């Protein structure tokens, strides 16, 4: 991941303190950051804790909102990629965390959203927006399976399905709450033969799902004799595959793009049926 880089070049540092003495001591500790003009924000401890949870919950909210918009776009004939660009051009909103997909995962967003919901419940309050954020995300993890089921008329037995990407995001082997885990469970229950490939997360996936899937040595081996290719994690090596090779080796030319990184026109030139989010 980017933990070291993020630590050395933070967007901001939030420090919770109980007293002025603590603030002065920590100011000395964080002096290198102050010299480099990084923002160091001192506040009381409850506010610092809330800042951490609320920041991640805000980003999760943007993701779930865009996924909801993407699903509506499919139903009304709009292109969510165009909508995303139009929204992001508004300087009040900005471009970050507006990309629709097959749901968020990892160790932070799901945990922090739930923590705020639970804290609110314990305080006699309901975080209705975050309850909806979590619900949308859980539903979104099943969107690709629903598309696959509709394409093949509901009977998925004996299909071979390829999954590219197991980690919840690129540049990590973390598969905690990754959309791929949900998809693997759904495909296995439907009787599919599942072939997977991820540059670094194969062992973590094996530890969690065992032999439910076939672990392949590269992206192209995973696609051989496949009836569907499902791209879940936007690793760099997945961004520019040879669709000519895939067209020759896949049994059925069907691609489900869970991160909207491919161009429909390019896939159609090679005879593929292409599904994206929104």
Q: Tell me the catalytic residues.
A: 108
Whole-number Cα distances in Å, 9 to 34, 35, 193: 11, 12, 44
**In degrees, to the nearest 5, what angle opens at C-alpha 90 toward C-alphas 116 and 104?**
35
Count how many Cα atoms sit within 13 Å of the Cα of residue 28 in the half-sphere of its side chain. Answer: 5
Q: Which residues pair with 160 in a beta bridge?
A: 193
Q: What is the dihedral of CA 177, 179, 184, 190, to 10 degrees?
A: 120
Tokens, residue 1: 């991941």
Half-sphere exposure of 119 (CA within 13 A, CB side): 12
Separation of CA 213 from chain center: 21
Which among 237, 229, 172 has a CA at the least distance from the CA of 202?
Answer: 172
Measure the CA–CA gap between 52 and 75, rounded to whole angstroms. 36
Q: Is 153 helix (H, G, I), strand (E, B) or coil?
A: coil
Candidates 36, 42, 178, 41; CA nearest to 105 is 178
């Amino acid at each position: 991941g980017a933990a070291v880089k993020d630590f050395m070049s933070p967007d901001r540092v939030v420090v919770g303190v109980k007293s002025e003495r603590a603030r002065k001591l920590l100011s000395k500790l964080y002096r290198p950051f102050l010299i480099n003009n990084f923002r160091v924000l001192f506040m009381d401890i409850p506010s610092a804790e809330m800042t951490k949870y609320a920041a991640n919950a805000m980003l999760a909210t943007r993701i779930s909102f865009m996924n909801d918009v993407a699903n509506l776009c499919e139903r009304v004939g709009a292109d969510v990629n165009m909508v995303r660009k139009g929204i992001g051009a508004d300087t009040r909103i900005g471009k970050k965390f507006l990309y629709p997909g097959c749901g968020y995962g990892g160790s932070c967003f799901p945990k922090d959203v739930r923590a705020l919901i639970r804290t609110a419940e314990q305080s006699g309050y309901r975080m209705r927006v975050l309850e909806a954020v979590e619900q949308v995300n859980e539903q979104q993890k099943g969107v690709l399976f629903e598309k696959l089921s509709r394409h093949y008329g509901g009977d998925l037995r004996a299909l071979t399905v390829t999954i590219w990407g197991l980690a919840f995001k690129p540049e990590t082997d973390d598969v905690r709450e990754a959309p791929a885990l949900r998809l693997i469970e759904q495909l296995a229950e439907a009787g599919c033969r599942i072939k997977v490939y991820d540059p670094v997360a194969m062992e973590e996936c094996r530890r969690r799902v065992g032999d439910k899937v076939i672990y392949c040595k590269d992206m192209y081996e995973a696609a051989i004799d496949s009836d569907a290719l499902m791209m879940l994690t936007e690793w760099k090596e997945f961004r520019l595959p040879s669709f000519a090779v895939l067209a020759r080796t896949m049994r059925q030319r069907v691609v489900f793009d869970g991160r909207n990184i491919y161009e429909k026109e390019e896939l159609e030139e090679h005879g593929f049926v292409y599904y994206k989010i929104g």
